[in-house]
Structure 1
Amino acid sequence: MVEQLSPPGKSRVVIEVWSDLGCPWCYVGKHRLQAAIAQRSDADRFRIVVRSFELDPGAPHEPEENVKSFLRGHGGTVGDVLRAERRMQALAGEEGLAYSLDRLNANTFDLHRMVQYANDRSRGFEFFSTVQDGFFAGTLDPHAPDTLADVAEAVGLDGRRAREILASSEYADRVRADRDEGLELGATGVPFVVFDRRVAAPGAQKVPVYGDLLQQVAGAVPSGLSLPTR
């Protein structure tokens, strides 16, 4: 289902994505959205901004096995979780995405605080995407502060400043405010994507659906047109 928020316009498009690290559909949906944008000859017109939405604010800070985490939050059986994970792994593989079954989950509040810092410096999507891709590939531990600081440095942020933030409670209010705003806009889970504050799309849509939404808010683009990078 796609929800219309307000009439379409003609301006450069900001795409806000309410997301959480450990959400498999957020991972897949992000790459589908990127693929839809890349298909347009005016791809530089679009800016993706990550907004914070903790799915499990009460999750423990100590990492736990993915199966245990899921059962704690959703119930069911170990077999149910493993079957669902294998289906998700197969789906991700069909789209060329790495998907480790040996992930460890933990509270994501500190990660979201780092996303807020990165957003202030126009690196939020790059930072979050790097962490999320590494997490699902099984090559990165997102629950280690040093790892988050290293990723921050890798995407052009100040590593020392990142460590200061992680050792404090900075940006906590903004993380909570993001989640509240998402709920006000109609999010009941993630991913929840809002295109230029005009159209909202809950869930991980297919690439053609995202393409239609881009056209709805930004218009069709003649073949070969290239807009300058901001």
Structure 2
Amino acid sequence: MAQATGQTLRIDIVSDVMCPWCFVGYHQLRLAQEQTAIPIEVFWHPFELNPQMAPEGEELREHLMGKYGITVEQSIEARARLEAIGDELNAPIRFTDGKRIYNTFALHRLLHWAAESGQAGALKLALFEAYFTDSKEMNDPQVMADVAAALGLDRARALEILTGDDYAEEVRAKQQFWTSKGISGVPAMVFERQHLVTGAQGVENYASILTQLAAAQAGAA
């Protein structure tokens, strides 16, 4: 493993909790960081894949077939591919019959609150795992409050946020900021506030990016 050198690299990640490639991309980045030992700091930002979706959500396979025109066979293949990638990354992805997809605005508001105590990263990963690994009902405030409480966050306050509209303006402003920068799909990672990388790029590519940026940073020092 390489020795960590230089200053910490900043990485802003625009993503949605429902986005499997955001989950994959983060864990690819995590492994790249572990391999290179280059210090990074991740900041999470909101994006909604389905801002108009009803609170009860939609059956995932039916949603994807309607939105992207894929067949059942293509859905089965895509799920198998994602599950295999997740296993390789030690980040299990499990698709169950009837799995649903949801609007995530309430979860983004919860993440905004968690950021006030430095817990946004931990909560983001816990929400990813709740959905992709444990297939929890992400639109159930009680279930989501339990996820927050498991991290030591105030469960009552989490429930209050999930069932109310606190931080709505702040989250909308964040979303608008990133869409105004041209972000229309996720994951979108911005390295050192200037290098935009979209999609899940793989461990090797992320390691290369980190190495190049760290070298450039050292050369400018």
Query: Take 2:161 and 2:117, find their aligned partners in 1: how far apart are those partners?
Result: 14
Give the alignment partner of residue 40 of structure 1, picking from 36, 41, 48: 36
TM-score in terms of structure 2 length: 0.85
User: Structure 1 residues 210, 42: CA separation in 2 closer, same or farther (over 3 Å shift)?
Assistant: closer
Superposed, 1:6-17 pairs within 5 Å as 11-17=7-13
Match of 1:184 in 2: 180
Relative distance call for 1:132 and 1:18 in structure 2 (3 A) is: same
Q: 2:41 aligns to what SS in structure 1?
A: strand
Corresponding residue of 2:3? none
CA positional deviation for 1:220 = 8.0
- Write out aligned runs for 1:16-165 (5 A): 16-43=12-39, 46-102=40-96, 103-165=99-161
The structure-2 alpha-carbon separation of the partners of 1:217 and 1:173, relative to structure 1 and needing over 3 Å to count, comes to: farther
- The Cα of 1:53 is off from its aligned counterpart by 0.5
Deviation for aligned residue 1:39 = 2.1
Q: Any idea what SS the aligned residue of 1:61 has?
A: coil
SS of the residue corresponding to residue 36 of structure 2 reads coil
1:29 shift after superposition: 0.5
Q: Distance in 2 between matches of 1:123 and 1:219?
A: 30
Q: Deviations over 1:170-215 (max 9, x none)?
A: 1112222222222233322000001120211111011122122223
- Relative distance call for 1:185 and 1:213 in structure 2 (3 A) is farther
Q: Once the 2 structures are TM-superposed, how far is the Cα of residue 145 of structure 1 from its aligned partner?
A: 0.8
Asked whether the equivalents of residues 130 and 151 of structure 1 are also in contact (C-alpha less than 8 Å), the reply is yes
Q: Can you list the C-alpha shifts for 1:126-151, whole angstroms capped at 9, x where unaligned? A: 10111112211135332211122122
- After alignment, is 118-127 or 175-184 more displaced? 175-184
- Which ranges of 4 or more aligned residues in structure 1 deviate by more than 4 Å? none
Change (3 A) 1:97 1:51: same
Q: How many residues align?
A: 211
In 2, the alpha carbon distance for the partners of 1:220 and 1:154 equals 40
1: CA distance, partners of 2:185 / 2:20: 12
Percent identity (aligned): 33
2:206 is aligned with 1:210? yes
SS in 1 for 2:184: coil
C-alpha displacement of 1:162 = 1.0
1:61–1:106 CA contact under 8 A, matched in 2: yes
Shift of residue 87, structure 1, vs aligned partner: 2.4
Question: Do the aligned partners of 2:9 and 2:41 also contact (CA within 8 Å) in 1?
Answer: yes
Unaligned runs of 5+ in 1: 1-9, 223-230
Q: Is the 8 A contact 1:17 1:51 kept in 2?
A: yes
Measure, in 2, the Cα distance between the counterparts of 1:108 and 1:41.
Answer: 33
State the structure with bigger RCO (CA 8 A, min sep 6), 1 or 2.
Answer: 1
